[in-house]
Amino acid sequence: MSKIHNYSAGPCILPPEVLAEASAAVSEWDGHGLSLIEMSHRSKPFVAVMDECRALTKELLGLPDRFDILYLQGGASLGFLTAAYNFLPEGGQAAYTDTGTWANKAIKEAKHLGTVDVVTSSKASTYDHIPALGEVDPRNAYLHITTNNTIYGTQYAEMPSSNVPLVADMSSDILSRTFDPEPFALIYGGVQKNMGPAGAVMYAVDTERLGATGRSIPAYLDLKVHLDKDSMFNTPPVFSVFTTMLTLRWLKAQGGVAAIQAKNEAKSALLYAEIDRNPLFVGHAQEGSRSHMNVTFRLTDDAHAAAFDALWNDAGISGLKGHRSVGGYRASMYNALPLDSVQVLVDVMNELERSRG
């Protein structure tokens, strides 16, 4: 079979060496005589996996000591509610930025627990940019941001400066670029893009800011309960955590986040240059808000759709269709996608221009 160039938005491409090691461990894990997924999560070898996964996450994100890491179930969708439960005080309010579909879901969940102050929005222009942010009312316990908007293909070029602590859904750009963790109280993200296979959500929690809401929190939603149990309050998603640990080892061996950021920037620069050059294509996101992870674009004339779709399918490209809510195309270029795959897509876009010219 010829090579597939996997542009899926998530679950998505993972490094081949990670897939090889993970699949071997599902058959028989490291001389233990059992599959990874038929061993107790309380066994010594798996506890070591959880510990390494948490430690590597903190190291690669460059987080100070006050942060601690959790790997739980429920995805980022449960993270929307968990974030509010743990940081939105009883009777209080929090600021949210409205930058797309996932940001809206976060807003909706927080409204179960308090007042939500939507401080900025790019809805009026179909979420084609990251909207400017003024001073946030200091009565807000935190400012929630979605650092990368997977569906619309926008991303904060720089993390916003804020007069209140930041809470961030980083599901689709975590570990793709360096940032200053200082203003953050909580970072969370489903692992199924840059970190590993679906099944877990990662929380990086500022332990010094935790426990100040004055509310009674159901056990599974209480981050302190999970921290006190070293992320083993209940059965963790063992395969997802193990494979995430392998992906983190891989990332470290690549030179860490700064090194992968340089590669990610080279990949997105190549594709955006072609979108800007080729008269058959137009990008969705405004310059200055363009995502390095999810590049959204469309044809200037839909009459070319059948020809373009045939060309990229023939080239072994998969997962290029835009999200069903917006249409067009979306090239998701997570950490494990090689530059070669981007070149194949650019060549196909060129080929379309030649064939239509």
- Binding residues for ligand PLP, per CB under 6 A? 10, 75-77, 102, 146, 150, 169, 171-172, 190, 201
Q: Smallest distance from the beta carbon of 192 to ligand PLP, in angstroms?
A: 6
Kindly tell me which of 255 and 327 has the beta carbon lying closer to ligand PLP.
Answer: 327
Taking the complex as a whole, the smallest distance from the CB of residue 150 to ligand PLP amounts, in Å, to 3
Backbone Cα Rg of the chain: 21
Q: Using CA atoms, how far apart are residues 161 and 41, in angstroms rounded to an integer?
A: 40
Nearest approach in angstroms of CB 33 to ligand PLP is 33
> Residue 53 is which amino acid?
C
Cα 283 to Cα 285: distance, rounded to the nearest angstrom: 6
Q: Which is nearer to ligand PLP, 102 or 312 (CB)?
A: 102
Q: Taken in order 158, 332, 98, 140, is the CA torsion positive or negative?
A: negative
At 210, the amino acid letter reads: L
How many angstroms separate the CA atoms of 174 and 194, rounded? 7
Which residues on neighbouring strands pair with residue 354, listed in sequence order?
none
Residues known to be catalytic: 102, 169, 193
Pick between residue 293 and residue 352 the one whose CB is nearest to ligand PLP.
293
Least Å from the CB of residue 135 to ligand PLP: 26
Nearer to ligand PLP, 119 or 170 (CB): 170
* Shortest CB 196 distance to ligand PLP, Å: 12
Nearest distance in Å: CB 52, ligand PLP: 22
- If the CB atoms of residues 187 and 201 are measured against ligand PLP, the closer one turns out to be 201
